[in-house]
Amino acid sequence: MALLIRGGQVLAGTPAALTRSDVLVEGDRIAAVGPGLAAREGTPVIDASAHIVLPGLGNAHTHAASHLARGRAGNWTLEDLLTHSAANYGFRTPEDEYLSAAIGAIEMLKTGCTSAYDLYMAVPAITDEAFEAVVRAYTDVGLRVVLAPAVADVVFYQTVPGLTDQLPADLRRTVEEMQPAPTKGLLGLTERAIRRWHGGADGRVRIGVAPTIPNQATDEFLDGCAALAREYGVGIHTHLAESKVQAVESRRRWGKSIVARLADHGILGPGFVGAHSIWLTDDEPTTPVATCAWAAGSRRCARCSIAGWRWASGPTAPSAPTTRTSSRRSASPPSSARFASRTRPPAGSTRTPSGASPPAAPRVCSGRRAIWAR
Ligand SMILES: [Zn+2]
């Protein structure tokens, strides 16, 4: 099957410049770019003379589950959002998950994205059936996707210092009784997804490994994720130092930064992508393993600046050259900004950046005992 896109402004050449050209597509490949291209009789022609023709964009970080929860968040920090996970994402059917993923995939296509890196999460747990529904949604819409089950084996409420201390006794008891997901079960779920779906839909579906937030991953789980990535040659994606709470908690609990901890467990490497990467510090890339991984050009960050502003997690460093929401990869160097320089809210924001102290009156949406995702 062929397609001729006629007369658009095509971005091409070195240095890149807009040039009026035709684009001939044959099968799933661009066969030719240039003026006055001929095509076989019967080839469909699109008149692009009033348009710019550009390659499909890649959304470097998204969540299939989020699209049915739009408009439900208040003036929240990231930790507020995670506290409300059960209310926003909880107890859906596979059909719900299909619909949510399809809405997101269709919207991406309509705004120029042809590929996405999706950390799919569910509450209380991702099931094989729900994961299959999300794969089917992306396949039906036709978007290319790297889809990763975003999971955790540490309960979120245990990762915010002082949170449970401020809860009323009955609610504290409920939270303290929540059980984390079994580590081996999460690794098994991820491995099944890789074995069943990686390379599916003629290669448009690939599977990744996603310890969703490093502070919600035990050392054993991080080791298991790294082993899976090595064994199957797939990528690893995580929310990297998205909030100050996460950065502070990592140093408090493990005595090291999040990046240093990931490096110790072999998570950083050519297939690693860190989402957000806001609360990084000068000393993080100086750990030997991290230095190797990052200096080798393997550091990939999906900045998601708008999310940082939305949750008041902090702006990306003003000096950072890349602050884009969607990008296949960023070549920005390790930030030189220190914690203190990132405590201000973004311009125009009336909210307080998330900090080490928990909110004065925390709200907890108590789901069932097992909170698997995030
Ligand atoms: Zn995310």
Dist. CA 32 → ligand 1 center (Å): 38
Distance 88 CA to ligand 1 centre (A): 14
Please give the Cα distance from 335 to 259 (Å, whole number): 13
Q: C-alpha distances in angstroms, 70 versus 67, 217, 349, 355? A: 6, 27, 20, 25
Domain range annotation of the chain? 2-53, 57-355
Residue type, 56: G
Of 173, 215, 209, 212, which Cα lies nearest the Cα of 193? Answer: 209
Cα 170 from chain centroid?
A: 35
CA dihedral 233, 235, 241, 242 (to 10 degrees): -160
- How far apart are the CA of 112 and the centre of ligand 1, in A? 20
Give the total residue count for the chain: 374
pLDDT for residue 270: 81
Within 10 A of 341 (CB to CB), how many other CB atoms are there?
13
The architecture of the domain spanning 2-53 is Roll (2.30)
Nearest to 320 by CA among 301, 334, 302: 334
Residue 324 CA, ligand 1 centroid: distance in Å: 14
- Tens digit of each residue's pLDDT (9 = 90 or more) over 288-327: 444 434 444 455 666 666 777 777 777 544 444 333 333 3
- Yes or no: say if 279 and 243 are a contact pair by the CB < 8 Å rule: yes
Distance CA 59, CA 56 (A): 10
Q: Under CATH, what is the fold of the domain 57-355?
A: TIM Barrel (3.20.20)
Q: What is the DSSP letter of 42?
A: T
Compute the distance from residue 130 Cα to the ligand 1 centre, in Å. Answer: 19
> Ligand 1 center to residue 307 CA distance, Å?
8
pTM for this entry? 0.77
Please list, residue by residue across 15-54, b when 16 or more beta carbons sit within 10 angstroms of its beta carbon and e when fewer do: eeeeeebbbbbeeeeeeebeeeeebeeeeeeeebeeeebe
- Which parts of 99-213 are beta strand (E)? 113-120, 144-151, 205-207, 210-211
Residue recorded with tokens 């493990």: 254
Ligand 1 centroid – CA 260 distance (Å): 21
The pLDDT mean for the chain works out to 80
pLDDT at site 91: 87
Distance CA 371, CA 83 (A): 11
- Per-residue confidence (pLDDT) for residue 337, from 0 to 100: 30
| Average pLDDT by stretches of 10, the chain with 374 residues | 95 86 92 92 95 90 91 86 87 95 96 95 94 98 97 93 90 90 97 98 97 97 98 95 91 92 90 84 52 47 70 57 36 32 36 36 29 25
For 132, the 3-state DSSP assignment is helix
Contact by Cβ (8 Å): 147, 135: yes
Q: Per DSSP, what are the bridge partners of residue 43? A: none
Contact 362, 146 (CB under 8 A): no
User: Which stretches of 295-338 are assigned E, i.e. beta strand?
Assistant: 301-302
First-last CA distance in the chain:
43
Separation of CA 158 and ligand 1 centre (Å): 19
